[in-house]
Amino acid sequence: MKNRLAALLSLLIIAGTSLCAQTVIPADSLRKHVYILASDSLSGRGFGFPEKQLAIDYIMNQFSEAGLKPIDDDYLNYFGFNSGTFFVEGKNIVGVIEGSDPVLKDEYILLGAHYDHLGWKEVDGEKVVNNGADDNASGVASIIEIGRALKDAGLKRSIVIVAFDGEEAGLLGSKAFVTNEVLDPSSIKAMFSLDMVGMLEKNKGLDLDGIKSLKDGRELAKKIAERESINITREKNAITSNTDTWHFAKKDIPAVHVFTGLKSPYHKPGDDADLLDYDGMSSVAGFVTTLVTDLANEEQVKANERFIRSSVNPRIMLGVQLNIGGSGFHYPDEYFNSKSVFAVDAGLVAKLKLSDNFFLQPGVTYGLTGSKVEEGKLRMQSITPALDLLISTRAQDIASPSAFLSLGGYYRNYLSATMDGSSYDFKNDYYSKEKGLRFGFGVHVNKIQIVYQFELGKDKLNKTDLNGKVLTGHYCLSLIKFL
């Protein structure tokens, strides 16, 4: 009896140790893949470059060796891209690990990493190659080894591993995969994009942008991070729109960008294989392997639909703005006007969606305006709350471009002033408060808004009437970055 109890206790200890053990992905295997994919012979894996075929052949061979099945008869999933008379045939590389559960095997967890990069260019007669070791040979190496680790894990759900083409040309491969419904979008329960995962130590941890798109995803990731001894440094409150997660999110699929930051020579020729942290890559790949394993065996994997909707097409956005232009006094009762001076202000802004075509945009700025006057150059510091109505063309999502007209008003409170650099008793000659109208036109693309804007004061600014009524005018180019 004692022997049986001892044996049972030993089994429980072994099982407990197994459950808590870290997932080990060999750093040497990751290093080998990156050194091949980021070698000069592949000429930077540029979209449409003939040398990229070397990368395609290598990845397909590794998928085959890892035991991944082709999604159809071939690992390659083709798509076309036209730009005028220019045509490129893109090639996504797709491997599958079929699930073991008779029902859940028709649901998928997708792991993606783009294998294209920027190619090469000639500089001073020499070929300069953008090898893209971190961006994104690191991600491709990782999904190969994660696939190898998951192949015989007996997971309930199926795993799809995709090396995407055309990411650097505009997320073309991931867009084609979703648009062409290579898989029924409703069957994809989660998508992970491993894009730049080679700088864990420099980043001081792992970013999981969009992890909140999975219901309870944040809690699951933290639990696994403790098990795998990895630090999660950031969980951005939105799904990343400039990597392959974006088109999956637009189909209401939870989409997570696995990322170790822009610590490598991003989009520069110096992004070479010798700079990467391969032990860190091993930790990241181990973490993702465990996370995917848990998700693949869960009874249900649910999307945080509210989070996804707020990422793709948010009702409210907050941002910062910088306005650069000029300002000057306007004398409507005279035949002359003053010369304008440089003006700049900065502050906070919000954008509230009323409908697909109408937005309210309140904001407040602190800035420097002024005018050339008879006594010299007058500079005025002020705080300006403003409210604009934007009449916009319709955009399908936050990353889609739109154009708009803006109409609104402002209330400016002048705080202090200088004349030719010396302190000036502004309030002795001018009123400190002013209301006005403003209008402009601009564009909004991917959380960036650029507006050319005009303001016209409606309140008389001068206390004395030596030159008749004095009004202000202001024009600026406004740059807004939404967070």
Confidence bin at 7 (pLDDT 50/70/90):
very low
Q: CA–CA separation, 139 vs 433, rounded Å?
A: 56
Q: If you average pLDDT over residues 110-135, what whole number do you get?
A: 93
Reported as a single tens digit per residue, the pLDDT across 128-175 is 999 999 999 999 999 999 999 999 999 999 999 999 999 999 999 999
When mean pLDDT is compared across 268-277, 331-340, 421-430, the lowest value belongs to: 331-340
- Angle 235-265-127 (CA atoms, 0-180°, nearest 5)? 145
Strands 206-209 and 232-234: parallel
* H or E segment to which residue 179 belongs: helix 172-179
Q: What is the CA radius of gyration of the chain?
A: 29
Asked if residues 459 and 473 have their Cβ atoms less than 8 Å apart, the reply is no
* Phi, psi dihedral angles at 447 (to 5 degrees): 70, 10
**What domains can be seen in the chain, in order of their start residue?**
24-311 (3.40.630.10), 315-482 (2.40.160.20)
Taking each helix axis from N to C terminus, what angle separates 278-297 and 138-150, rounded to the nearest 10 degrees? 50
Question: How many other C-beta atoms can be found within 10 angstroms of the C-beta atom of residue 469?
Answer: 14
Predicted pLDDT at 22: 66
Q: If you average pLDDT over residues 359-373, what whole number do you get?
A: 94
Beta strands (DSSP E) in 340-375 are 341-353, 358-373
Reported as a single tens digit per residue, the pLDDT across 274-319 is 999 999 999 999 999 999 999 999 999 999 999 999 999 899 999 9
Q: CA–CA separation, 303 vs 298, rounded Å?
A: 13
Asked if residues 308 and 213 have their Cβ atoms less than 8 Å apart, the reply is yes
DSSP helix/strand/coil, 307: helix
Confidence bin at 21 (pLDDT 50/70/90):
low
